[in-house]
Amino acid sequence: MNIDDDYDDSGNETSGDDVDFAIDGESSANKELLSYDDDYQYEVLSTDDIVQHMVDCIKEVNNVVQIPSTTTRILLNYFNWDKEKLMERFFDGNQDELFKEAHVINPFKKLTIVAKPKMSRKVMGTEECDICFMVYPPSQMTGLECGHRFCYQCWNEYLTTKIMEEGVGQTIACAAHNCPILVDDETAMRLLQDPRVKLKYQHLITNSFVECNRLLRWCPSPDCMYAIKVGYVDSKPVACRCGHVFCFMCGENWHDPVKCQLLKKWIKKCDDDSETSNWIAANTKECPKCNATIEKDGGCNHMVCKNQNCKADFCWVCLGPWEPHGSSWYNCNRYDEDEAKAARDAQEKSRAALQRYLFYCNRYMNHMQSLKFEHKLYAAVKDKMEEMQQHNMSWIEVQFLKKAVDILCECRQTLMYTYVFAYYLKKNNQSVIFEENQKDLERATELLSEYLERDITQENLVDIKQKVQDKYRYCDGRRKALLVHVHEGYEKDWWVYSE
């Protein structure tokens, strides 16, 4: 972003109608559309591309509303960069109220409302800064359309604090007390002195633009500065230039075959304390009288509630009153009482729910852990490929190993999310077919992983190559068959989920 650095000392800076972001990159209209799964097209945008997209959006609105571009930017940000909503409000509503809500001076009336500087200082040819209370010549004072003027140094320190410490970009208000008028980006860039602060400010502006626009999403990969632009929002995979593939709808790693809402539910379940509650339910019991949670810490089944207001005596095994048990301290044969049976049933149900969750969670986490070591696997395979080339094999001939690792990682990622899908899936005939497909893919994936870990020698080279190629083709076919079956189930409403 190139901002004109010339100072206008009048205190009434206006920008004209030309957009002040000077970008030399190609227009977004000329960018090549990409597609990861053939039917969902998108663009990968750099920071400059994003700014150009902002400029195009501002110009499009400005051609209609005919107000300064800096004001247009603030209005667009107020409406979350929804052009149609802004223009509808601009022409159909009360414009004075609109500008007031957006905290900008009405550009059609601002010449009549500019505050006058202090006359006593003006007569002497100086002005006093209301922040540092130092006296400066008018040329060293500046302000916004609201008329509040401060020295350049105070403006710089104020803006730097807002940007670097508070992380505020598009909504920095005037430095005057209780003045709601926002500092436009042209003025901010003109007053800031440190290039690092300017860069952070530009990042805050572009970040706000991307996060407000539902057709844009930042790549979630760490330290990646690219964003994805789509024509419509859907749960589809998009691939960033950095190599990261993610779901545009939710921003998580691409998670076929599970849908976004189920994955969100699963992640919350894994992250919150719900499973701690399950552990408590499985390993403790409630006092049948006061419902206090009790953990058994000895061998005796005779329990006495520690609640001073309760002190109930009951049996740990059946949860019934202890008195009828007589001397049977270590064995309980009272299994027929309805109340005790209901308590035991609830306990067993909780234990079963915990065991079921752990079954799927362990398999989910196992594949996730394997994918985290993906870079080590690629490094090991690269060494093998180099070693094989030393045994008179060409570069093309050894590419089967990289292809095998690519497919292995795809299979592990698919399998990882099949366990999320299976956890919420209710049993029916189609779920049995799904589980068979899942089991077959799991077995084939582990065999492929085993082949890739074997030592390759001159003697077994041909045999290993054939086995690896056969197995990765089989894995790829089974993975696609599983996904086709799940998506067919979505179309035909085969799948029923548990809560």
Which of 132, 242, 300, 310 does the annotation list as catalytic?
300
Distances (CA, A) of 456 to 391, 394, 404, 463: 11, 16, 15, 10
- Provide mean pLDDT across the span 270-288: 70
In a domain, 193, yes or no: yes
In this prediction, residues 182-206 reach a mean pLDDT of: 90
Under DSSP, is residue 424 helix (H, G, I), strand (E, B) or coil? helix
How far is residue 263's CA from residue 139's CA, in Å, rounded to a whole number?
A: 59
State the Cα–Cα distance between residues 149 and 116, nearest whole angstrom. Answer: 10
pLDDT > 80? residue 459: no
**Residue 375 CB partners (closer than 8 Å, separation 6+):** none
Report yes or no on 460 lying in a domain.
yes
**Position 335 confidence tier, pLDDT thresholds 50, 70, 90:** low
24, pLDDT greater than 50: no
Domains contained in the chain, number: 2
Task: Say if residue 364's pLDDT is above 60.
Answer: yes
pLDDT at 333: 58
Residue 117 within a domain? yes
pLDDT band (50, 70, 90) for residue 19: very low
Compute CA distances 410 → 34, 134, 158, 417, 422, whole Å. 20, 66, 50, 11, 18
- Contact present, 309 and 290 (Cβ < 8 Å): yes
Which 3 state secondary structure label does DSSP give 237? strand
Whether 297 is covered by a domain: the verdict is no
If DSSP codes are grouped into helix, strand and coil, which group holds residue 303? strand
Instruction: Compare 140 and 34 and report the one with higher pLDDT.
Output: 140
Cis check for the bond before 257: say yes or no (omega within 30 of 0): yes
Q: In sequence order, what DSSP letters do the residues of 145-191 get, joined into one string? A: TT--EEEHHHHHHHHHIIIIIS---TTPBPSSTT--PBPPHHHHHHH
Calculated CA dihedral for residues 293, 294, 295, 296, nearest 10 degrees: -160
pLDDT for the residue 327 = 57
Q: What's the pLDDT band for 119 if we cut at 50, 70, 90?
A: very low
Interval 340-360: pLDDT, tens:
667 667 767 777 887 888 889
Task: Taking residues 137-157, report their average pLDDT.
Answer: 91
Q: 427 is in which domain, residue-wise?
A: 373-499
In a domain, 149, yes or no: yes
In sequence order, what DSSP letters do the residues of 378-419 get, joined into one string?
HHHHHHHHHHHHTTT--TTTTHHHHHHHHHHHHHHHHHHHHH
Domain boundary among 158, 179, 213: 213
Sequence-distant (6+) residues with CB within 8 A of 432 are: none
The residue among 213, 241, 274 that closes a domain is: 213
Q: Which one, of 115, 124, 110, 198, lies nearest residue 149 by Cα?
A: 115
Taking residues 446-459, report their average pLDDT: 81
**CA 225 to each of CA 11, 34, 218: distance values in angstroms, whole numbers, following the listed order:** 36, 18, 7
User: Which of 52-66, 75-89, 141-155, 339-353 has the weakest average pLDDT?
Assistant: 339-353
pLDDT (mean) for 191-211: 90
pLDDT of residue 16: 39
Reading the block at residue 317, the tokens are: 């095994």
Residue 82 maps to a domain: yes
- Known catalytic membership, residue 315: no
Kindly tell me the number of DSSP H helices and DSSP E strands found in the chain. Answer: 15, 14
How would you class 314 by CB atoms within 10 Å of its CB: exposed for 0-12, middle for 13-18, buried for 19 or more? buried
Residue 287 CB neighbours (<10 A): 19
CATH no. for residue 457? Answer: 1.20.120.1750
* 39-53, 164-178, 188-202, 344-358: least confidently modelled range: 344-358
Burial of 95 (0-12, 13-18, 19+ CB in 10 A): middle
Predicted confidence at residue 340, as pLDDT, reads 64
- Give the whole-angstrom CA distance, residue 16 versus residue 55: 15
Distance CA 208, CA 222 (A): 18
Q: Is residue 287 part of a domain?
A: no
Q: Is position 442 within any domain?
A: yes
Name the burial class of residue 326, with classes exposed (0-12), middle (13-18) and buried (19+) by CB atoms within 10 angstroms of its CB: exposed
CATH number for the domain harbouring residue 135: 3.30.40.10
**Local confidence band at 319 (pLDDT 50, 70, 90 cut-offs):** confident
The model's confidence at residue 202, banded by pLDDT at 50, 70 and 90, is confident
List of residues 6+ apart from 286 with CB closer than 8 A:
292, 293, 294
Beta-carbon-side half-sphere exposure of residue 292 (alpha carbons within 13 Å): 17
Residue 114 DSSP symbol: P
pLDDT tens-digit readout, 378-400: 888 888 888 778 777 788 888 88
Last residue of one domain, picked from the residues 197, 213, 229: 213
Maximal C-alpha separation, the chain: 104
